[in-house]
Structure 1
């Protein structure tokens, strides 16, 4: 997601159940990999910097018009953070669409149980088409609820 926002060659980004608070996720799920992720004795790359994705996103660094689509769910552990980030990124001139899965499923089941829907989303994003699905409802402009299958 960060690469897509900062690259001058990318204009469409699809973020599948993103981890906004990176350090929180690593500490909870990948603690054994911390030595590989965080360089020791480097003040510019440390846990506090990595914890906030906003440390990497600055409006002046976004040089091309961007559109980002977030797919997340109400039961995902970083749902609130994703929602707040999707609202904040608009202030940087990025068009942000939030697709919220309302099933009470955690991260992996929310993805794996809805692969067909996600693939359809991706195809439509790439071809600039609006996704139509009997279980997808527009809550407000750029915010959609997906009921799952």
Structure 2
């Protein structure tokens, strides 16, 4: 199986567990702010690499050492690439193979894919593609990545797509490609989002897409007036509890923090 492990750059924290949490990174503000200067060649790639050295969710790993963790960098497309594209080319099949090789070489029995925003998209994408991944926790993911990029940085979008309109459209619809699900095996899939998140409606449509294919998911719904980043930053204790339950294969913390209003939707209790 092809899949160069050198694609998997980041920090591997080994605690002696047979459970691994793959932590896909969100886009930190310094990287987003640097996009115009990266596009105009005013920032060197060595400087961009330094920006990727700061990992989100590290505090959780320090607090919960009952699992191993792999904090994976997303230094593609000169800035970041949602772990799926690099300068106008798809990399997700090769990246997925590298993940499989890494998981098998380290003899992990359970693997949780986790991340927020673009990290949530990656956690979801590889959760669907990779049968070695047993649990998925995707926070505020971009379902239509190209649509998000066109809102974030329309002038600099060639960093991601080149000048290829066809590729841009393929990126936007990648989660709806049937071939992503050819090797899918049943697993626990959690979404967390809010009614005011920028891609909340597409997330609901995507859940319908999965349900039509017999893929069950659960949604944890935040009904506050918070948007995107604050849906995560202001609710870290809730997220910590759900993630720790996934590691433990439990619902103890989940049931304390959320109330089920159906077979697949949960509301945050504190609201």
Aligned residues: 146
Structure 1 counterpart of 2:203, from 82, 86, 102: 82
Matches within 5 A, 1:1-149: 1-31=124-154, 33-41=156-164, 43=166, 46-58=167-179, 60-130=181-251, 131-134=254-257, 136-146=258-268, 148=270
Higher alpha-carbon Rg: 2
How far apart, in 2, do the equivalents of 1:97 and 1:7 lie? 19
The alignment's TM-score, normalised by the length of structure 1, stands at 0.85
Cα deviation code 1:87-126 (max 9, x no counterpart): 3212333220011100111001111000011011111122
Note the C-alpha offset of 1:35.
Answer: 2.0
CA contact (8 A) 1:87 1:96 kept: no
Cα deviation code 1:11-60 (max 9, x no counterpart): 211111011111111111133552221144484xx111111233434475
Structure 1 ranges of 4+ moved more than 4 A? none
The alignment's TM-score, normalised by the length of structure 2, stands at 0.49
| 1:87–1:41 Cα change, 3 Å | closer
How far apart, in 2, do the equivalents of 1:60 and 1:14 lie? 18
Note the C-alpha offset of 1:8.
Answer: 2.0
How far apart, in 2, do the equivalents of 1:86 and 1:67 lie? 14
> RCO (CA 8 Å, sep 6+): is it higher in 1 or 2?
1
How far apart, in 2, do the equivalents of 1:59 and 1:90 lie? 15
How far apart, in 2, do the equivalents of 1:55 and 1:117 lie? 29
How far apart, in 2, do the equivalents of 1:58 and 1:90 lie? 16
- Unaligned ranges ≥5, structure 2: 1-123
Note the C-alpha offset of 1:65.
Answer: 1.7
How far apart, in 1, do the equivalents of 2:231 and 2:270 lie? 8
How far apart, in 2, do the equivalents of 1:67 and 1:93 lie? 13
How far apart, in 2, do the equivalents of 1:57 and 1:33 lie? 30
Note the C-alpha offset of 1:84.
Answer: 1.7
